Structure 1
Amino acid sequence: MNISEQDNFIGVIDTRLLRGELRVREPMRKHVSWRAGGVADYFYLPADLQDLVVFLRHLPRAERVHMIGLGSNLLVRDEGLRGVVVALHARLNDLLLIKQDEEGDLIYAEAGVPCAKLARFAALYHLSGAEFLAGIPGTVGGALAMNAGCYGAETWQIVEKVKTINRAGKLHERNPEDYLIGYRHIALQQEFDSVNDEEWFVGGWFRLQQGDHDNSRQKIKALLAARMSSQPLNFPNAGSVFRNPTGDYAARLIEVSGLKGYRVGGAMVSSKHANFIINDGGATATDIEAVINMIRDTVKKKTGIELIQEVRIIGDVGNDR
């Protein structure tokens, strides 16, 4: 359903102000990599960043907003999702090379750019340092929000600055010094005072060093081959479900706890990589969440280590994790 076909959105917004696409009662299983989950009340695809600014400025303040990219790190409960889902991956995808100096060049990428595309773009322009992003199955916005990483590298190691938008539709540019940066975790140094202070990443500038195109391409190729051989990519999944605890691996702890192959309905702990939960046919979000909870409880009981969840679970039943 297009915005132009409606007079109002949530009874308040004059849709003539907007250029994006609005969908009502949108099945979220179409937008998460697990291919499971309930429906969202509203689903908005902004036409561009300025359209997103207008949308947020006119959206009723009480209406909850959920920003998503490719849905590769997300589960929406079967009972559905109240509020508005804003999908950034379709149209917030500007990707620009900014020539700098002997210290390297910058690439600006909007939040909807797939991480793998950013890695290939950097290699094309003979820039090194972004190759690891080819192994992250999400977007730049998600990588910034969780400090995504793999094979010893993390997103914020190459961040020069970021662009954010808050709940009131105001844009900010922020530096890494403005954030507490940790393993799979990012938080602003300042505390949020109100709903208007909630912020989401809409773009980032990445500083990269001069390199060699062929060398970067070979690194990307090797990384993708390693990922293919070690991860169950032929089934719907959301990547690593839990963070690795200090000095150990979540996959090892799950395996020694006897949970490889454990299943509830169509959701199963992968026999290929124990930190992956796959949908091997007809899994519901409830099935997947039940497996997640079983892993956490069993690993805690058998090893004494409490695994920290890496994937986000949102929806009506229970508390968001």
Structure 2
Amino acid sequence: MKQLGEIPRRDNGEAPFAETAGKSRTPVSTKGLRGTLTPQAPLAKLVWFKAGGKADWLFEPADMDDLQLFLERLNNDLPVMALGLGSNLIVRDGGVPGVVIKLGKPFAEIEIRDDNVLACGAGAHGILVASAARDAGIAGMEFMRGIPGTVGGFVRMNGGAYGREVADVLTDCDVIMPNGRGHCLTARELGYSYRHSELPANAVVIAARFKGVPGDPEAIGAKMDRIAAAREEAQPLRTKTGGSTFKNLPDRKAWQLVDDAGCRGLTLGGAQVSEKHTNFLINTGDATSADIEGLGEEVRRRVYQKSGVALDWEIQRVGRP
């Protein structure tokens, strides 16, 4: 997978907007695009909570060149959001303005390079990255077995679990900006902190390089198995959920604060605080995103009232209320 560096802007001569047969305005000319551009695209089926509104536009690029061409033509005033597995995301019921970029199989490649480096597309699943590293005898990526999601999301939010995070292993990443220009950013340039980066909101991560250390595949596999077993035992994996809801504090776990505030099993509409792990919210069947987010805010209120701690959301919340 090639690094982007600085990609020159192409002058394609196309108007920034085009009319479809139905007279609705598209955000770009679709001439020459090979991906799929869908108006008013339902997003609930694409996120783990299975709730939420529609994207004004959903673009599924055929490959990196297709994505670059699309973003070159896009009106820079339109918001852009990349979507991976939707595993740590609340899409509000009013939908997402602008364009949602869904990166599929063309962005899921994983390549083993010299010096214990893995080059991964932004659409690669964490479990597959960890497995590829294991098979190549590269240690240090085992924690990705415990994070539901894709490389693009890991890089943006400094994903982590079981004592490790992306900042520990990332060397650099490739991003494309809304004007179509590509940049290679180092881990230092991303300004990582706990579950946060300084990556611009409209930047789309398309690839990343992770560096590990030599390891024994059997020992790496055993560690991954322990992580998988710990998740199975502690977390409500077979429900419609969004992963860890609130950020841990340096000296206190969010789930303990939620539990101490009496929120285990608390409900609002179709949303519930998990009884198995209180830092998880669940869609019990017919929850709206307003139910889920409202329940989270009620949990925050009760925790603050009980302990004086203002919990920060870890789940990303996007779109119109």
TM-score (norm 1): 0.90
* Counterpart secondary structure, 1:186: coil
2:41–2:54 contact (8 Å) kept in structure 1: yes
Which of 160, 166, 173 in structure 1 is aligned with 2:184? 173
State the Cα distance separating 1:94 from its structure 2 match.
1.7
State the Cα distance separating 1:90 from its structure 2 match.
3.8
Question: Which amino acid is the alignment partner of residue 243 of structure 2?
Answer: G
TM-score (norm 2): 0.90
Q: Does 1:83 align with 2:98?
A: yes
Shift of the 247–24 alpha-carbon distance from structure 1 to 2, 3 Å rule, reads same
Whole-angstrom distance in 2 between the partners of 1:146 and 1:288? 21
Q: Please give the per-residue CA displacement for 1:80-117, whole angstroms capped at 9, x wherever unaligned.
A: 222111111443112111113xxxx2110011111111
1:161–1:175 contact (8 Å) kept in structure 2: yes
Whole-angstrom distance in 1 between the partners of 2:104 and 2:266? 33
Alignment-derived partner of residue 298 in structure 2: 294
Larger mean CA deviation between 211-220 and 84-93 belongs to 84-93
Alignment-derived partner of residue 5 in structure 2: none
* Counterpart secondary structure, 2:82: strand
Whole-angstrom distance in 1 between the partners of 2:242 and 2:104? 17
1:89–1:139 contact (8 Å) kept in structure 2: no
Shift of the 9–228 alpha-carbon distance from structure 1 to 2, 3 Å rule, reads farther
Which of 45, 53, 74 in structure 2 is aligned with 1:30? 45
Question: Which amino acid is the alignment partner of residue 98 of structure 1?
Answer: R
Which of 142, 153, 167 in structure 1 is aligned with 2:164? 153
Q: Does 1:274 align with 2:306?
A: no
Alignment-derived partner of residue 12 in structure 2: none
Alignment-derived partner of residue 3 in structure 1: none
State the Cα distance separating 1:287 from its structure 2 match.
0.7
Whole-angstrom distance in 1 between the partners of 2:26 and 2:140? 48
Alignment-derived partner of residue 17 in structure 1: 32
1:69–1:142 contact (8 Å) kept in structure 2: yes
Alignment-derived partner of residue 53 in structure 1: 68
Shift of the 89–249 alpha-carbon distance from structure 1 to 2, 3 Å rule, reads farther
1:159–1:206 contact (8 Å) kept in structure 2: yes
* Counterpart secondary structure, 1:216: helix
State the Cα distance separating 1:68 from its structure 2 match.
1.0
Q: Does 1:250 align with 2:261?
A: no
Alignment-derived partner of residue 201 in structure 1: 205
2:81–2:204 contact (8 Å) kept in structure 1: no
Shift of the 247–19 alpha-carbon distance from structure 1 to 2, 3 Å rule, reads same
Q: Does 1:237 align with 2:241?
A: yes
Question: Which amino acid is the alignment partner of residue 280 of structure 1?
Answer: T
Give ranges in structure 2 of 5+ residues lacking alignment: 1-19
State the Cα distance separating 1:14 from its structure 2 match.
2.5
* Counterpart secondary structure, 1:37: coil
1:21–1:44 contact (8 Å) kept in structure 2: yes
Alignment-derived partner of residue 115 in structure 1: 126
Which of 221, 226, 229 in structure 2 is aligned with 1:217? 221
Shift of the 281–198 alpha-carbon distance from structure 1 to 2, 3 Å rule, reads closer
Give ranges in structure 1 of 5+ residues lacking alignment: 1-5
- Number of positions where the alignment pairs a residue of Structure 1 with one of Structure 2: 301
Q: Please give the per-residue CA displacement for 1:197-244, whole angstroms capped at 9, x wherever unaligned.
A: 942322111111111111111111111011000000111111000000
Q: Please give the per-residue CA displacement for 1:123-162, whole angstroms capped at 9, x wherever unaligned.
A: 1111111011011000001011111111101111011111
Question: Which amino acid is the alignment partner of residue 156 of structure 2?
Answer: A
* Counterpart secondary structure, 2:212: strand
2:56–2:97 contact (8 Å) kept in structure 1: yes
* Counterpart secondary structure, 1:13: coil
Question: Which amino acid is the alignment partner of residue 127 of structure 1?
Answer: I
Whole-angstrom distance in 2 between the partners of 1:66 and 1:9? 21
State the Cα distance separating 1:177 from its structure 2 match.
2.1
Alignment-derived partner of residue 187 in structure 1: 198
% of aligned pairs identical? 35
Shift of the 9–222 alpha-carbon distance from structure 1 to 2, 3 Å rule, reads farther
Question: Which amino acid is the alignment partner of residue 55 of structure 2?
Answer: A
Whole-angstrom distance in 2 between the partners of 1:12 and 1:280? 36
